[in-house]
Amino acid sequence: MVLKKSTAVAVLLSSLLLTACGNEKDSKTKNNGDDKTVTLWVQYSKESAEGKVMTQSIKDFNESNDKGYKATVEYIPRSGSGGGYEDKVNAALTNNTLPDVLTLDGPNTAAYAKSGIIAPIDDYITKKDDLLPSIIDEGTYDNKLYSLGYSESSVGIYYNKKMLADAGVDINSLPTVQNPWTYDQYNELFETLSKHYKKPAIDVGFDDHSEWLMYAFTPFVWSSGGDVVNAKGTKSSGSFDNSGSVEAFTFIQGLIKNDYSTITPEKNGFQKGIYPLKMSGSWTMQEMDSQYKDVEYGVLPLPMSPKTKKLVSPTGSWAYGMSATTDKKEAAGALIDFLGSDQEVYDMSVGNSVLPSRKSTSDRLSSEVSKQMKVLLDQNAETGHARPVLVNYPQISRIVQDSVTEITYVDQHKDVKAFLEQKAKEIDPLLK
């Protein structure tokens, strides 16, 4: 799962917008006299779990479609800093050499659409009613569908069963998606574990200064009745600094203030039995099952506000978009529709340990996945909340990321409301 590692998007898009605006009128994807063969760029390697699924998917598309369309795929892995793939896309914008179809991080859809990098795909996508609402929300800009998420995601609280039992915690009393816990109840668990082990109880990824901090922590804001921006997406003040947001950031700050977590966790601390808890997504499940088979673990739903008692979880992942410059829209649309179909979504979910983007696939997988994955599957289906669709999303996300990091500097930000008021004022100009 690469979502957690997207760090260069804000810088990338600032250059993408300038480049795209300058080339939109002149740029066309070359067809070389062949209007039935399309090229797809993806952000992972051919040898990865995603790559293996994609190789078979392209083979199936080429053999099964009845219009003679053919697709080729170019695998362009992202580097740890977010480069590689994004660098290739940016260079293609400069040189007018974008492929017919490309992958993009779903929350950046509005930025790509506004800049003219991708085109609407409504006319080419079938069975839209089967798509999860979060997928539609993420891919829609100006009332048009611009991207199609091919998987979903969620975050839960991983727990080491033996470590909790040794600390006197009754495993059978732990929360479920149907009976989730509040911030206060989770704090009691954190207190018990941190006192017993005389170390932080949970690694929440404070050291990952990337999209992770926006993705994983905004559900607390939404649960508490706050938001990053207002419903119209025109202002942050009044939302990011309201009482709900203050409650959420007070909970986040409390993780450090009370020594329940750490801003410098040991690498793979949960996996190695150093921390009894970890906040993470399904990618950690894949890691646990392949590299830490001796660790017996479970997954819990996220904490929720004690005031609203509303469980909210994050959503979103990578998506397919059609280049605005392609002159093979029918073939490109057919490829996107095929790759977003139930069977292809199923194959990617199983092959890459990710959540599905379709309701029918979610129902299909419900009886097949592990107990741990089912927690995330159910949580996603029942409580998933898409990140805001904003043209300046990358820049706004960076401010939210910084907010999560800076609130952990407890002595510097004792007045949480004043801190959030300042951050909201930083976001406001980006919404005009």
Domain residue ranges of the chain, discontinuous segments joined by +: 37-152+316-385, 155-314+391-430
Q: For residue 34, what pLDDT is reported?
A: 78
The CATH topology of domain 155-314+391-430 is D-Maltodextrin-Binding Protein; domain 2 (3.40.190)
- Tokens found for residue 325: 């410059």
85 and 6 Cβ atoms separated by less than 8 Å: no
Band the pLDDT of 138: cuts 50, 70, 90. very high
Q: For residue 23, what pLDDT is reported?
A: 43
Q: Above pLDDT 90, what percent of the chain?
A: 89
Q: For residue 79, what pLDDT is reported?
A: 75
Q: What is the sign, positive or negative, of the torsion defined by CA atoms of 205, 210, 215, 219?
A: positive
Q: 175 or 28, which is more confident?
A: 175
Beta bridge partners of 280: 156
Q: For residue 35, what pLDDT is reported?
A: 84
Q: For residue 8, what pLDDT is reported?
A: 37
Beta bridge partners of 156: 280
402 and 151 Cβ atoms separated by less than 8 Å: no
> Which residues contact residue 210 at a Cβ distance below 8 angstroms, ignoring those fewer than 6 apart?
4, 5, 6, 7, 82, 401
Q: Can 37-152+316-385 and 155-314+391-430 be said to share one CATH topology?
A: yes
Least confident stretch, 2-6, 272-276, 350-354: 2-6
Q: For residue 31, what pLDDT is reported?
A: 53
Q: Which CATH number applies to 37-152+316-385?
A: 3.40.190.10
Q: Is the pLDDT of residue 109 over 80?
A: yes
Q: For residue 259, what pLDDT is reported?
A: 98
Q: For residue 432, what pLDDT is reported?
A: 78
Please list the helix, strand and coil fractions of the chain in percent, rounded to the nearest 5, in that order.
50, 15, 40
Tell me: the pLDDT tens digits for 223-241? 999 999 999 999 999 999 9
Backbone phi and psi for residue 165, each to the nearest 5 degrees, phi listed first: -60, -40
Tell me: the pLDDT tens digits for 139-158? 999 999 999 999 999 999 99
CA distances (Å), origin 328, targets 27, 49, 119, 259, 324 = 14, 29, 12, 56, 10
Band the pLDDT of 7: cuts 50, 70, 90. very low
- The closest of 369, 391, 372, 378 to 114, measured between CA atoms, is 391
Band the pLDDT of 271: cuts 50, 70, 90. very high
Q: 34 or 370, which is more confident?
A: 370
Q: Is the pLDDT of residue 417 over 70?
A: yes
Q: For residue 30, what pLDDT is reported?
A: 52
For the chain, counts of helices (H) and of strands (E): 16, 14
Band the pLDDT of 80: cuts 50, 70, 90. low
Q: Is the pLDDT of residue 326 over 90?
A: yes
pTM comes to 0.89
